[in-house]
């Protein structure tokens, strides 16, 4: 009897997964993007984790390449239904994948994607939509991630990131934002350029302080306005403080020296949103 010599058919989903090694060019870009916490020459950032990837896909982000560890092949085959056919999907040896991603407990998926960019003109056009947050010298990635999340939750118009502030492409910022970074407009800009722009658009400049100023419940929340959040330890530089229209203070128990920057920004954003609903 004649034997069937046709090769076994490879499932279409599995065929999309291409195994690569350490010398793959895209893998080198992923490694550098994670290590430097900045955009690649192609303008892509690196992300890690199932939730972030799903959030990016859900909100129409342009994903160039998705990387899976060999141990995450079952996960890969499930996610391929959500990943567009034009997106490159690569599989790496598990040890190699784990050596590249920053997480201590990798989920086996990472990606390179292009975040939607925003110009100063586009951001300032939103001035009547809600308050702006200005992160000035904010260095903790967890704080910036929290601020991005709270900014979306409480209807901020956008976020400006000035000199000395942690990169928005830091993996901890991306993870802490829980996907809000894909929806909340932000722009990296110097204070010297930003403050005149805000003045030109009649935006009031408010600083936050842990010691003295207008108590939050008494503040004027009429738009347009921008709230400056300073460095976790040093606060806002004196030259920036001198250019503010008003300083806000969050009433708190005397033994507490100050609040976490992410918490303080979240309280300010909540109070602004509450005032806008009155």
Comparing 38 with 84, which gets the higher pLDDT? 38
- Assign domain 12-114 to its CATH superfamily: Ribosomal protein L30/S12 (3.30.1330.30)
**What local confidence, expressed as pLDDT, does residue 172 receive?**
95
> What fold characterizes domain 120-276?
Alpha/beta knot (3.40.1280)
Mean pLDDT, residues 189-195 taken together:
97
Question: Mean pLDDT, the chain, as a whole number?
Answer: 90
User: What does the pLDDT look like over 98-115, one tens digit per residue?
Assistant: 999 999 899 999 999 998
**What local confidence, expressed as pLDDT, does residue 260 receive?**
86
Q: Where are the alpha helices (DSSP H) in the chain?
A: 12-15, 25-36, 50-58, 73-79, 94-100, 120-124, 141-153, 171-177, 191-200, 238-241, 261-276
Q: What band does 277 get if pLDDT is binned at 50, 70 and 90?
A: low
Closest CA to 147 of 129, 130, 159: 159
Q: Assign residue 200 a region (left: φ > 0; alpha: ψ between -120 and 50; beta: otherwise).
A: alpha
User: What does the pLDDT look like over 202-261, one tens digit per residue?
Assistant: 999 999 887 788 999 899 999 999 999 988 777 888 999 999 999 998 887 777 667 789
Q: Cis (ω within 30 of 0) for the bond into 224? A: yes
Q: What band does 7 get if pLDDT is binned at 50, 70 and 90?
A: very low
Alpha-carbon 150 to chain mean position: 12
**What local confidence, expressed as pLDDT, does residue 151 receive?**
97
The answer on pLDDT for 131 being more than 60 is yes
Mean pLDDT, residues 38-67 taken together:
93
The answer on pLDDT for 128 being more than 70 is yes
**What local confidence, expressed as pLDDT, does residue 87 receive?**
93
In angstroms, the CA 213 to CA 59 distance is 40
**What local confidence, expressed as pLDDT, does residue 12 receive?**
46
Residues whose CB falls within 8 Å of the CB of residue 79, separated by 6 or more in sequence, listed in order? 50, 53, 54, 66, 109
235 SS3 class = strand
| Exposure of 208 in the CB half-sphere (CA atoms within 13 A) | 29
Contact between 132 and 118 under an 8 Å Cβ cutoff? The reply is: no
The answer on pLDDT for 54 being more than 70 is yes
Comparing 37 with 258, which gets the higher pLDDT? 37
**What local confidence, expressed as pLDDT, does residue 20 receive?**
93
Strands 186-188 and 204-209: unpaired
Contact between 101 and 34 under an 8 Å Cβ cutoff? The reply is: yes
User: What does the pLDDT look like over 135-191, one tens digit per residue?
Assistant: 999 999 999 999 999 999 999 999 999 999 999 999 999 999 999 999 999 999 999
For the chain, give every domain's residue range: 12-114, 120-276
The answer on pLDDT for 9 being more than 50 is no
Element (H, E) at 228: strand 225-229
Closest CA to 169 of 52, 3, 86, 5: 52
Alpha-carbon 58 to chain mean position: 16
Q: At what angle do helices 261-276 and 141-153 cross, to 10 degrees?
A: 10
**What local confidence, expressed as pLDDT, does residue 14 receive?**
53
In angstroms, the CA 188 to CA 168 distance is 9
Q: What band does 11 get if pLDDT is binned at 50, 70 and 90?
A: very low
Per-position DSSP letters for 7-63, written without gaps between them:
PPPPPHHHHTEEE--TT-HHHHHHHHHHHHTS--TTS-EEEESHHHHHHHHHTT-EE
**What local confidence, expressed as pLDDT, does residue 3 receive?**
52
Residues above pLDDT 70, as percent of the chain: 92
């Amino acid at each position: 009897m004649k034997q069937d010599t046709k090769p076994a058919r490879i499932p279409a989903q599995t065929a999309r997964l291409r195994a690569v090694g350490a010398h793959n060019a895209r893998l080198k870009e992923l490694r550098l993007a994670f290590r430097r916490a900045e955009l690649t020459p192609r303008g892509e950032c690196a992300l890690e984790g199932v939730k972030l990837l799903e959030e990016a896909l859900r909100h129409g982000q342009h994903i160039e390449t998705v990387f899976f560890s060999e141990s995450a092949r079952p996960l890969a085959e499930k996610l391929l239904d959500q990943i567009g056919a034009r997106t490159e999907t690569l599989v790496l040896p598990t040890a190699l994948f784990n050596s590249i991603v920053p997480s201590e407990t990798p989920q086996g998926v990472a990606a390179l994607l292009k975040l939607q960019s925003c110009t100063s003109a586009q951001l300032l056009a939103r001035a009547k939509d809600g308050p702006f947050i200005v992160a000035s010298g904010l260095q903790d990635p967890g704080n910036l991630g929290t601020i991005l999340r709270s900014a979306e939750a409480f209807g901020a118009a956008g976020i400006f990131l000035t000199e000395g502030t942690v990169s928005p492409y830091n993996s901890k910022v991306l993870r802490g934002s829980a996907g809000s970074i894909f929806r909340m407009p932000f722009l990296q800009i110097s204070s010297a350029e930003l403050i005149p722009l805000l003045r030109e658009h009649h935006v009031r400049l408010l600083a936050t302080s842990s010691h003295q100023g207008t108590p939050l419940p008494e503040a004027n929340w009429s738009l347009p306005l921008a709230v400056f959040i300073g460095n976790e330890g040093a606060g806002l530089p004196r030259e920036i403080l001198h250019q503010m229209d008003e300083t806000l203070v969050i009433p708190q128990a005397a033994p507490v020296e100050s609040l976490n920057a992410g918490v303080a920004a979240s309280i300010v954003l909540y109070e602004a949103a509450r005032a806008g609903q009155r």
